[in-house]
Amino acid sequence: MRIGPIELGERPLLLAPMEDVSDPPFRILCKRYGADVVYTEFISSGGLVHEAENSVMKLDILEAERPVGIQIFGGNLLQVQQAAGIVDNVRPDIIDINFGCPVKKVVCKDGGAGILRNLPKMEAITRAVVDAATRPVTVKTRLGWDDSTIQIVDVAKMLEDCGIQALAVHARTRKQMYKGDARWSWLRRIKEEGLRNIPCIGNGDAATPQAIKKMFAQTGVDAVMIGRGAIGNPWIFRDAKAFITTGEIPPPPSWEERISVVSEHLCLKCEWLGERCGVLEMRRMYGGYFKGFHGASAMRQRLMAAKTEASVLDVLHDATPALQKRVVAVRSRPRGVKRAILPSKAA
């Protein structure tokens, strides 16, 4: 599979753009465990044009995470076009347009999935971004606004005609939000009846190695984009690739490895955001990392109460709940996890 000049091999796995999740520290970990492409959190086009600090910071990309895509959203054509130029200057490998976010505050101004109610505007924005970019442009969208407005096969043809290099589709409507089953049969229709010469990337309910392999088999998509299944579980890329190839899932990470990765994730966050913000933002990740362990709830409470990087590491060091899986105490900063320093930013 290729996205423009980027060769990704057969059945690549992509990290989905997720607000407050797919930041540089997490993308680095997912890349280490097998993600073939990683995407940034979505970035407001208006925020970039007006140089909002929070939006500009999300442009940070690292050489170690390439190929990396920067995703933008917005319903103002001129702003999106200007934002595309700003992003292009940062030199990502891919520029992605978010036409799929279902959140009310985004869709109310034709951002995200809101654009699915105005397909001529969707076409105009896509053409404007393609014209402004010097690197591949991709799109992530949904089946439609609701069941009565599903035109995704024709939308796929239109977007390809605009010049995008790959299309990712979350197989739900905006009305569904994240409820109900993703309708994978539409992915096969997009692949067989819609797109002609660019890849189709499947998304939605691909949260386990078994489901990822099943999506490839049932839909014929060229790649699978993993979202919620990766939260607190960067190992899913490694596990899915092994399962696709051998039919077997590798043993889960040892307790030592899990604590080491959580500790590194924390240190990277603190390095990137500063200690206070890094500690606060890391709190949303603990549920995923320790899901299914007996005693994890009490441990998460202690982690949430810790206010400094050192105190969080102390809690991780002291974590010895009565777990079903083997538990080995580790140092507060495990061997091999030094004070984390992010690699230099991309030129």
Catalytic residue set: 101
Q: Are 38 and 68 in contact (CB under 8 A)?
A: yes
Say how far apart CA 300 and CA 166 lie, in whole Å.
39
Cα dist from 84 to 77, 96, 143, 171, 226, whole Å: 11, 9, 24, 26, 24
At 207, the amino acid letter reads A
Identify the bridge partners of residue 97 per DSSP, sorted by sequence position.
72, 139
Q: What b-and-e string marks burial along 267-277, b requiring 16 or more CB atoms within 10 Å of the CB?
A: bbbbbbbebee
What are the tokens at 115? 């654009």
